[in-house]
Structures are given as C-alpha cells and as structure tokens.
Amino acid sequence: MRVRKAEQVTGVLLDEESELSLSELCRACELPAERILALVEEGIIEPRARKPRWRFSGICVRRVRRVYTLERDLGVNLAGAALALELLEEIERLQAQLARLEQRRKR
C-alpha cells in the first residue's frame, strides 16, 4: 500500500477590502505595468488611489485574469473583453439574486 503525502496549498484571499500596489497586481496577474495601465484606460479596472502610489482592490486580480482569458481563448480585443466581462458579471449578479429568492421561497 502506498501512502500519499498531503500537499499544502497556501494563498492569500483577495476581496474588495484587500489592497494591492501596481507592482503587486502585476505580479499576481503576471502582466507588465503597461498592460495593467491599458486596462485602467479602458475602464476595466479602477484604481482606488493614484497618488502617492497606485492602489487597487483585490477584486481587480479576478477582473484582469478574466479579461486576459477572454482575449487569449476567444481572440477578442480589449473593448470586446470589457463588454464580455460586464455581461458575465451581470449574469453572476442575477444568478445570485435568483438563488436568494429561491432560498426565501423554500422557507
């Protein structure tokens, strides 16, 4: 009988309350600062602060990764990825609202 060694996975939970610098966001998303700044210009992500240093919400990591995936996998341009991201997030909001309504109905 073989015994498997347990793997330990560590990470940081990023949410709306989390805050990252531009360089931390670049590292988390594995993208250069120029690419992150292009996403800011397109309105896909919004910095919490620009002075004295750029600061971003932890939610930006998810948004940047999703946009990158849409571009890479579907070949859409940045504007198309921004629109697709908005639609995906709206679907998620509606699904969450529907789940809450169904929970109330079951009570």
Annotation: CATH topology of 19-106: Multidrug-efflux Transporter Regulator; Chain: A; Domain 2 (1.10.1660)
The span from the CA of 47 to the CA of 81, in Å, is 19
Share of the chain above pLDDT 70, in %: 89
pLDDT at residue 1 greater than cutoff 90 = no
pTM for the model: 0.75
Average pLDDT over residues 3-24: 74
In which band, very low, low, confident or very high, does the pLDDT at 13 lie, cut at 50, 70 and 90?
low
Residue type at position 31: L
